Structure 1
Amino acid sequence: MKYLSLFGLAIVLSGAFACSTKQTQEPIHEDINLMIKAEKVAEHDSQSIFRYILDNGTMQVELSNYGGLISKIIAPDKTGKLENVTLTFDTVEEFLTKPNPFFGATAGRIANRIAKGKFELDGKTYELATNNGENHLHGGLVGFNKKVWTPETYTNDSTVGVKMTYLSMDGEEGYPGTLSTTLWMELTLDNTLRIRFESTTDKKTIVNLTNHTYFNLGGMKRDVQDHEFQFWADAYTPVDAGLIPTGEIKDVTGTPFDFRSPKILADQIVANGGGFDHNLVMKTEKSDEMKHFAKVRHAESGRVMDMYSDNVGVQFYTANFVKDFSGADGKTYDKHWGFCLESQNWPDAINHDNFPSPILNPGEKYEHTIEYRFSVEK
């Protein structure tokens, strides 16, 4: 283990933080650029909220144990200029008091939508909050994005990160079973932001966890319609007017959802008659394979982001419902100012027998890994 620091400063620890976070005393080696800063910034429900900055000498990731939140990603452009590339607030503290459309949040127990907030499990009907019209969205009124996770920092020769745990009790937000979840958020020396989830349950339940960061590789100067997207997806799941999947699995050929060759987003938005909020099919069965889901390029800045995951789908969302939102650095975010790549099981899967199952049984382990790999093309 290495001693953790940032900009030559020792890690800032409060008494409460020291109880839940490992401290190490060995000096950092000169050839290792991985560093972390931790700062207590608030309390919520008598629990400490921390802001962390992960730094690998090239880029930085700011996150928090409030909501398993990624609040900022600072990445260089082709000239070396560092800029934030996520929609966010100026401070972590603002996430506790200001409504926002899931900026950077961990979404769960079930990410995305459940039709009419209802599902059946072993003959019993469960009713959840309908917080998105008549449907349930991203875990309900107080989902994982509003929970305080128990944090612990870690580092090795190639990775620095924060491990967080949360225990969701039986009946929370209407879901069955006590669900124990561990979340790792880490930055590597090769500019990969890796997110890993593991969950177990004491009772049959459903699980679908993801991260909901809104990216803008241009550094928040304008919307993302000038970004180029490529997805390795041959199919998508069409939706109804409420954005609930119809149950059909449709070939992307000849549709605006065909991103198998690189496409400029603006052209596809026009072809689709508006933005995207759809699940692209990456696999039809679950497996451990880390598949290349997407590549996003921004020519002006030179920034590139490749996404890999072991899951079966990715929700491609182009911030269709963001309007006149006061964000960080005095910027006003508007429609299409960001995009989300939410690695996931297919939406409303519990209500579609032909979709991959979101059911987790006692004795099983839910596992999910996402990687966002950042680079620059000049």
Structure 2
Amino acid sequence: MRNGITQAPFGQLPGGESITQFTLANATGMVVKIIDFGGVITEIHAPDRDGRMADVVLGFDTLAPYQADSPYFGALIGRYGNRIARGRFTLDGREIVLPTNNGNNHLHGGAPGFDKRKWTAVAHDDSLQLTYRSRDGEQGYPGNLDATVVYTLTDDNELIVRFHAVTDQATPVNLTQHSYFNLAGQGDILGHVLTLDADRVVAIDDESIPTGELAPVAGTPFDFRTPRPIGSRIMEDDVQLRHGLGYDHNFALNKPQGKTMTRAAHVREPVSGRVLELFTEEPGVQFYSGNFLDGSLAGKGRAYAHRSGFCLEPQHFPDSPNQPQFPNVILRPGEVYQTESRFRFSVER
């Protein structure tokens, strides 16, 4: 029997708008908490091999840090997840100029992006639906974009994230979910054992912009085709690791073109036995090893030190509007943007 969805206040925005936290719970005791500010997942409580629950995502106890300097903890990202070089691209012969909020480049939809907007929330029996209208010209993007995200927690300990969007002008769209995971609930993530189903990785320059090459992972620290601890090669003298200050790269998944659901990643935390699997319809997954966490942020009783969380962001490749050889990211009027990813939690005995 499902426990359904409950809700509670989670603070107010400067303009007086109330923010609500929604709690999804399933029959096995797993709990996911989400706020309607940025669609942020604030908590995920999952069992270890002995049935002990722990919160396995990074986040904060209150609203204010999410409004301020949060590094996208748990947030929905849009209109365009990842970087666009120089904040510029050409669309149908017209130059589009976006604000640059990551050095010379545009990152995660700008500031503010979808991660710092209030979404309209509607709770159903086992799902939370969030909607947001991004108006024409917001952060430089053309067209009115109507985005819908549905979070569903199943009794199989699977968190399903479904994205849907339509537009009235051609515009790039690349929505994703940006949770930071730590399956131990504490410490760093270097001992987590990762498998990524990707023969190639999107090579980047020293500003984390794709060079255009999909580089083979074989013989490099990026080869996670067989299980390997995240920290096993992260300190090697590799040009791509230097560019990302660790892992901050989009892996091109081994899958046929089109909306095929495949298992992109498997992560195991040996001490707790917790396992996270990512299934997605997206062509890539951005693996980030928490390189910029430095202990200056704290929440839920602990400081977030260097590499205390990792991200697996299902998405299209960075800078795709400037890289015609990459899969298409332009949504046009009359088309529907639709994609689904699943985060499945389990334990290894």
Asked whether the 8 Å contact 2:60–2:66 carries over to 1, the reply is no
Q: Work out the CA distance in 1 between the residues paired with 2:278 and 2:303.
A: 27
RMSD: 1.4
Q: Which of 158, 161, 171 in structure 1 is aligned with 2:137? A: 171
Q: Work out the CA distance in 2 between the residues paired with 1:116 and 1:338.
A: 28
Q: Work out the CA distance in 1 between the residues paired with 2:222 and 2:61.
A: 34
Q: Work out the CA distance in 2 between the residues paired with 1:339 and 1:48.
A: 30
Asked whether the 8 Å contact 1:286–1:311 carries over to 2, the reply is no
1:147-186 equivalent positions in 2, closer than 5 A: 147-155=117-125, 160-186=126-152
Asked whether the 8 Å contact 1:275–1:336 carries over to 2, the reply is no
5+ residue gaps, structure 2, are none
Identity of aligned residues (%): 43
Q: Work out the CA distance in 1 between the residues paired with 2:197 and 2:68.
A: 36
5+ residue gaps, structure 1, are 1-31
Asked whether the 8 Å contact 1:197–1:369 carries over to 2, the reply is yes
Q: Work out the CA distance in 2 between the residues paired with 1:86 and 1:111.
A: 20
Match for residue 324 of structure 1?
295
Q: Work out the CA distance in 2 between the residues paired with 1:223 and 1:354.
A: 37
Asked whether the 8 Å contact 1:87–1:327 carries over to 2, the reply is no
Deviates more, 1:198-207 or 1:284-293: 284-293
1:200-349 equivalent positions in 2, closer than 5 A: 200-220=166-186, 222-271=187-236, 272=238, 275-282=246-253, 286-349=257-320
Match for residue 8 of structure 1?
none
How far is 1:370 from its partner? 1.0
How far is 1:314 from its partner? 0.3
CA deviations over 1:150-191 (Å, ceiling 9, x no partner) = 110112xxxx12101100110000000100011101110100
How far is 1:339 from its partner? 0.4
> Relative to 1, partners in 2 of residues 1:80 and 1:208: Cα closer, same or farther, differing over 3 Å?
same
1:100-179 equivalent positions in 2, closer than 5 A: 100-155=70-125, 160-179=126-145
Task: Give the match's secondary structure for 1:241.
Answer: coil
Q: Work out the CA distance in 1 between the residues paired with 2:59 and 2:144.
A: 31
Match for residue 43 of structure 1?
12
How far is 1:250 from its partner? 1.3
When normalised by structure 2's length, the TM-score is: 0.95
Bigger Rg, which one: 1
How far is 1:46 from its partner? 4.5
Task: Give the match's secondary structure for 1:116.
Answer: helix
> Relative to 1, partners in 2 of residues 1:319 and 1:262: Cα closer, same or farther, differing over 3 Å?
same
